[in-house]
Structure formats: C-alpha cells, structure tokens
Amino acid sequence: MDLFLDALALVLTPMAIASIGLGALVGLIFGSIPGLTFTVALALALPITFGMDPVPAIGLLLGTYIGGMTGGSVSAILLGIPGTPSAAATVLDGHQMTKQGEASIALGTAVIVSVFGGLFSLLVMIVSVDLVSRLAIGFGPAELFALVLFGMSTICGLCGDSLIKGLISGVLGLMIMTVGIDAIDGVPRMTFGSINLLQGVNLLVAMIGLFAVPFIIEAFSQKGERDIQAQRVAKVRAELPSLKMLFGKISLILRCSALGTGIGAIPGTGGAIASFLAYDHAKRFSKKPQSFGKGNMEGVIAPEAANNAVTGGTLIPLLSLGIPGDPATAIVLAGLMIHGIQPGPALFMNNAGEVYGMYVAVALAYLWVLALQLMGIRIFVHVLKIPREMLAVAVLVLCAIGAYSIRNSAFDIYAMGAIGLLAYVLVAVRVPITPIILGMVLGPTLENEFRTAMMLSGGSFDIFLNSPTVLVFFALAAGVIGLQVVAELKLRKKTKEKIEMTDA
C-alpha cells in the first residue's frame, strides 16, 4: 500500500499529468491519421523524454502508446481507413454506421469500450506482472537465453505472411546489433576502423529510421492521393451510448477484453490479430450474425475492446521478462532503459515504485484518452484534413532532431537515413520489419546470456540440456516454428488444389 501511495505521489504531479496528457493527445492524433502510426509517434517522442524524470517520461510514452491504439478507430469509423492496423476490423461495421448517419454513437461507443478494455487489461497486468516476475526470478543465463530465443521465434513466426521472411528479418536485426565493441571481450566487430561505429548502431536511431523514414518516403511518393474524404465528416461529435445498451453488451465486452489481453501477452501477435479474432468471436455468438458488416454495433464493440486490451497484455512480458511483444513496446522498453529501469524478473526488487507509477500512469492515460476523445473529436476530424505530405516534412525535421539529440552526432542522422531506406525497401518487397527491431532489442541479451552460460559450464552444452525450463522454452520455440511451417504448407496445398480445380 505504501508503494502504491508513493507511486500516486510520483504520478499526480502537474508535470507527470501533463506529460501523460500530451502523450495521449499526440498518440490520438498520430493514431487517427492513416499511415502515420503511433509507433512513429513513439519513436519521435522518445528523444523528448531525455531531460525528464523517469515517471513523467514513461508516462509520456505510455500515453502515446495508449492514445495511438485508441485513435485508430477515428479514421476507421469516419473515413473507412484504419488509422492503425489494429483498427482494421473496426472499419467493417464502424464505417457502415457512419454511412447510416450513426458516426457519433459509433465513435462514443468505441471510446467507452476502448477505455474499458484498456482498464480491464491493466488489472490483469497488475496481477500477472508480479506473478510472472516471481516465477522468472530464479532464471539463470541458460534459461534467459532460452526465453529470449522463444520470444524471437514467436515474433519471427507470427508476424508477416511468410515464416522465412520473418526469420530473415529477425537475423538482419541480430546482425545489426553485433556491430560495435563486443560487450564481453571488448573487441571491435564490423567497424571497419570507423570511430562512429565503435559504439554500434544506436537502438533509438534505428527505431526512428525504421518507422519514420518509410512514412516520409511513402508520403512524398503518394503526394495528393488521399485528402478526399475528410470534408464530409467535419460535423461529427462523440455521443455517449446509453448505459442500458452498454450493460446489454457487458458480456461481449468482458469476453473481448479477456481475449485481447491474452493475445497481447503473446509476443509477436498484437492488436490487429486480437481485433479480428474478437470480431469473429462476436459474429459467431451474435443473435444476428447476418447483420455484421452492415453497421452492427457489436462489430465496433468487439474489436475496440480487444485491441485496447492488448496494451495491458503486451506490457506483461515486457515488464516481467523484458521481452517486448511489438515495435511499440520495444520503444517503450528503450525508454525504460534510458531512464535506468531494466524490465525483467528483478524489476520489482529494483524499481517497484516506478512500476506502480506506470500502473497509475496507464489508468491516467485512459482517463485522458476518454476526455480528449469525447471533447476533442472535432479537432481530430480537422487534423485528418492536413495533407500527409506536409506532416511528413514536419516528421523529417523531428526525426533528424531526435536522432541528433541522442549523441549530438550527425553520424546518427546518416545512420537513420540509411536504415530508413533499408526499411522502405524491405517493406516494399514484403519483408516484415517488426522482427528486425525485436532482433535488435533482444540480440545483445541473447548473445550475452549464451556466452555467460557457456563460461559457467566451462564450454559444456549440458547447462542447456539439464534444465527443464530451458527444454520447455526450446520445445515451445520449435512448436511455434513447426506450427507456422504446417500452416504455410497447408496454404500451399490449398492453392495447388485450387489450380487443379481451375484446370479441371
């Protein structure tokens, strides 16, 4: 209780409250603009936190994350274009409701269930983080290596359409992070005599490059292709749904929130998968499944409750094990580390106050989101009218400032540009970039824990084979990869059958 009161005192300062509110606002704006995801907002917000105290800094990042996740529904409902991938399922019925003149009630319901889903996942998170941390506190280097390997395999296997491309992407991320001075032996690796490369590729620089630069290039190359639809939705507001309606759907909201939290806790999955699963679940159990896709309110409630519940779910492995489940939480992880908070099993021993502060910050961020969405929806509609290419020019300047401010070095700006170009090319050739960033985040831990384990065992692999925990993680990793291979083979067989049928 004392810890909680201390955390309240840390978060309920004007600076922290304002930071969380600013983050929620920026996240909502970035999340609601199609193509400008909240991951970009997080990458740009990170350098701003350098001069802040830990709690307001983390509050700013969490506010951006939560605001962004909620903001995606605005353009999904109003324009039929999801602001974020996790709002894609909301388009199906949300935009139909707009066409039927029910945009205001759709927006109001979306924000209410989003906040409910988020707060539900926060409660689960509070219980789970401590529990998982206690379980993981006894992990040695071998177990940590196996855990990170499992996390990597899940992420590479589950994101994107092709397992092999996911694995290639993950390996590229791991390779990038080996550049620089080796942490154990102090040997320079792949630096080619460059002083700038001795420190390696900075994680934050890489994140800004990976997420912001492709957006700038796309906005510049698709200039003037979007601004059509914002005009006709200018006179909209968020209308609160009736309590009777909400209570009537409470079972669905609870089930979808639980589904979202569970999905979020699995690294590599994320909001898009959760929202589509929730949509499918709602349709299956609906009394009127035929009305889905034609403006059914349940088609808005289910994905919105689920995708916001993902926020708490993804924070469970992040805080308790140090494994980020998606790019957004990878940036949050980087922010935590910058401010001296090392997520993982020992988190509660070293930074209990800050962790409780984060819980309060998440709750506060949802309150900010609720207030901003209900009162400021008209402003977001106007934001949707700003041409994307103009925003891209501003993002270009902010990216450069962000990259430069990390080490006051122009080299980081060049590195950001090069990594950004690489990311643009990879996205264009359908190689997912999420595993790159997670490979970069988890790569150093993977290598250091393996080498430490081998030193402890005197070069014997028995240290991995004698631990049941290690074997369980290895089996899970093999299972994830195996399942993905089977799924891809099945898909290939189906396509072959289609070909044969066409021929026949």
Partner 1 sequence: MTNRVQDIIVATVLLLLGAIWTWLVIDTIRPGFGDGDIGARAFPMVFGILLMVFSGVLLASKLPRSDRDENLFVGDMEIPKSSRLDWLPALLVLGQICLYGFLLEKIGFVLATPIVVLLAMVVSLRERSAVKLLGMSLGLTVGSWLLFEKVLGIYLANGTWLNLG
End-to-end CA, the chain = 72
Using the Cα atoms of residue 151, residue 152, residue 154 and residue 158 in order, give the sign of their dihedral. Answer: positive
Question: For residues 115 and 174, which CB has a smaller minimum distance to partner 1 in the complex?
Answer: 174
Q: Which is nearer to partner 1, 5 or 425 (CB)?
A: 425
> Which is nearest to 378 in space by CA: 78, 37, 18?
78
Compute the radius of gyration of the chain from its Cα atoms: 23
Q: Are 26 and 41 in contact (CB under 8 A)?
A: yes
CA distance linking residue 237 with residue 245, whole number of Å: 19
Contacts with 389 (C-beta within 8 Å, 6 or more apart), sequence order? 219, 220, 223, 224
The CB-of-356 to partner 1 minimum distance in angstroms stands at 26
- Judged by DSSP in three states, 180 sits in strand
Measured from the CB of residue 286, what is the shortest distance to partner 1 in angstroms? 31
**CA dist., res. 490 & res. 453, Å (int):** 39
Measured from the CB atom, is 175 or 254 closer to partner 1? 175
Contact 399, 216 (CB under 8 A): yes
Question: CA-CA distances (angstroms) from residue 302 to 11, 15, 62, 91?
Answer: 31, 35, 23, 12
Q: Are 257 and 121 in contact (CB under 8 A)?
A: yes
Give min distance, CB of 472 to partner 1, in A.
Answer: 23
Looking at beta carbons only, is 139 or 450 nearer to partner 1? Answer: 450
Alpha carbons 71 and 260: distance in angstroms, whole number: 17
- Which residue's CB is nearer to partner 1, number 123 or number 401? 401
CB of 188 to partner 1, least distance (A): 8
Least Å distance, CB 37 to partner 1, is: 15
* Distance (Å, whole) CA 73 – CA 284: 22
Q: How far is the CB of 24 from partner 1 (least distance, A)?
A: 18
Nearer residue to partner 1 within complex by CB, 290 or 408 = 408
Long-range CB contacts (< 8 A, 24+ apart) of 154-157?
A: 154/266, 154/267, 154/268, 154/477, 154/480, 155/267, 155/268, 155/325, 155/434, 155/435, 155/438, 156/268, 156/435, 157/268, 157/480, 157/481, 157/483, 157/484
Q: How far is the CB of 394 from partner 1 (least distance, A)?
A: 6
* Residue 259 or 392 with smaller CB distance to partner 1: 392
Least distance in angstroms from the C-beta of 315 to partner 1: 26
Kindly tell me which of 136 and 463 has the beta carbon lying closer to partner 1.
463
Report the C-alpha gap between 371 and 122 in whole angstroms.
19
Q: Closer CB to partner 1, residue 371 or residue 489?
A: 489
3-state SS assignment for residue 188: strand
How far apart CA 126 and CA 121 sit, in angstroms, is 9
CB closer to partner 1 out of 51 and 101:
51
Least spacing, CB of residue 476 vs partner 1, in Å: 20
CB 16 within 8 A of CB 10: yes
CB of 35 to partner 1, least distance (A): 10
